[in-house]
Amino acid sequence: MKITLEQIAELLKKHSKFVVTAHVNPDGDALGSVLALSNYLISIGKNVTCLIDDDIPSNFSFLNNIKMITSPVENKINADLLIVLDSSDLERIGRVRQLTSAPVLNIDHHISNNEFADYLYLDSNVAATGEIIFQLFKLMDAQITVAIAEYLYTAIATDSGFFKYSNTSESTMKIAAELIHYGVKPNLISEELEKKPLSSIRALPKVLETLELFANNRIACISITQNILELCDSTEGFIDFPRVIDGVELAIMIKYVDDSTCRISMRSKTIDVSKIATSFGGGGHKKAAGCTIHQSLLDSKKTIVDAASRLMGVLNND
Ligand SMILES: [Mn+2]
């Protein structure tokens, strides 16, 4: 059932025990939204358990109280509501669903959302789930502490590519400005988020060696092979290299998972890549989406480049 922000506020007021979660492979929006909403709920006397079924990338360790997000363990949790943030389908929250039978409230901005929740608030026009949480806080007259402002700024800045992507709207900027008013220092947040481990920079030449162009140079693809993965812990930011090549409309990163599984990330300037991702069981946004393909790295590359070429209306003869 689709609900309004007002109805979300009612649900939050009415209930007292919440599990708050977001998608696996958590990004700034997932973590920032979970931390902002959870800390607010705690501040108004609610009982909150924050769970994400994955490791938290070290870039986010600067966020206040980040350790309150833990991995799910076997024990069942008695809760009134399971709040699922920034996730377009239930599979994306991993094992968290098995821990509670509470009804699900889903707050999300992915156009590919499959409407799995009991209560859904979906706005695919906002840059980040953090924007929706901010609107909710305004509606509930929430006190926005510096920490909450930092969580929301991190959520919005990361999902909008630091206010560069096409999802950046007038309202995105206005919310960011308000968050600065509440005490955010944008330079300090960028410094933390831009940090890369030395191993990633050292692996970069190997990554760039894998660069291939298809569809008359409109598609650029990099491959993170098993060998490259052994050199670096994080592949964060690698897709920006094919993305910025002059003339490239679609950047693809194919990451080895095992001999018959690859993780695909896509960043587009023209075509709607959420369609491609959804057709392979993944999801995302029009200009940024991802999926998993159960093929070898080479076969996955062909599969995804062919699908993208078809959508672009070009025959891929490369
Ligand atoms: Mn998001």
Query: Which CATH number do you get for residue 123?
Result: 3.90.1640.10
Handedness of CA 219, 164, 120, 103 (dihedral sign): positive
Residues 131 and 41 in one domain: yes
Q: How far is the CA of 315 from the centre of ligand 1 (A)?
A: 33
At residue 234, the pLDDT reads 86
Residue 278 CB burial class (10 angstroms; 0-12, 13-18, ≥19): buried
Buried b / exposed e over 59-93, threshold 16 CB at 10 Å, is bbeebeeeebbeebeeeebebbbbbbbbbbbbebb
At residue 74, the pLDDT reads 79
Distances from the Cα of 318 to the Cα of 85, 162, 214, 218, 299, angstroms: 40, 34, 6, 12, 14
Q: How far is the CA of 86 from the centre of ligand 1 (A)?
A: 5
What is the number of domains present in the chain?
2
Reported pTM: 0.90
Q: How far is the CA of 198 from the centre of ligand 1 (A)?
A: 27
Backbone angles phi, psi at 181, to 5 degrees: -55, -35
Q: Which amino acid is at 308?
A: A
Backbone angles phi, psi at 71, to 5 degrees: -85, 145
105 in Cβ contact with 118 (< 8 Å): yes
Residues 147 and 239 in one domain: no
Q: Is residue 318 part of a domain?
A: no
The enclosing domain of 222 has a CATH number of 3.10.310.30
Q: How far is the CA of 168 from the centre of ligand 1 (A)?
A: 13
Beta-bridge partners for 186: none
At residue 182, the pLDDT reads 98
Q: How far is the CA of 219 from the centre of ligand 1 (A)?
A: 24
Buried b / exposed e over 231-267, threshold 16 CB at 10 Å, is ebeebbebbebbbeeeebbbbbbbbbbeeeebbbbbb
Tokens of 78: 């008695």
Q: How far is the CA of 296 from the centre of ligand 1 (A)?
A: 28
Question: DSSP class of residue 313?
Answer: T
Residues 167 and 281 in one domain: no
Q: How far is the CA of 109 from the centre of ligand 1 (A)?
A: 6
At residue 315, the pLDDT reads 66
Residues 162 and 225 in one domain: no
Strands (E), 95-248: 104-108, 119-122, 212-214, 219-224
Q: How far is the CA of 105 from the centre of ligand 1 (A)?
A: 16
Residues 292 and 202 in one domain: yes
Residues 308 and 227 in one domain: yes
Residues 306 and 162 in one domain: no
- Calpha distance 152→51 (Å, rounded): 18
Residue 39 CB burial class (10 angstroms; 0-12, 13-18, ≥19): buried
Residues 178 and 218 in one domain: no
151 is in which domain, residue-wise?
5-194
Q: How far is the CA of 124 from the centre of ligand 1 (A)?
A: 10
Q: Is residue 317 part of a domain?
A: no
% of the chain residues with pLDDT over 90 = 94
Q: Is residue 285 part of a domain?
A: yes
Residues 21 and 58 in one domain: yes
Question: Which secondary structure element, helix H or strand E, spans residue 226, and what is its range?
Answer: helix 226-231
Residue numbers of the chain with a pLDDT score lower than 50 = none
Q: How far is the CA of 263 from the centre of ligand 1 (A)?
A: 18
Residues 78 and 174 in one domain: yes
Q: How far is the CA of 178 from the centre of ligand 1 (A)?
A: 20
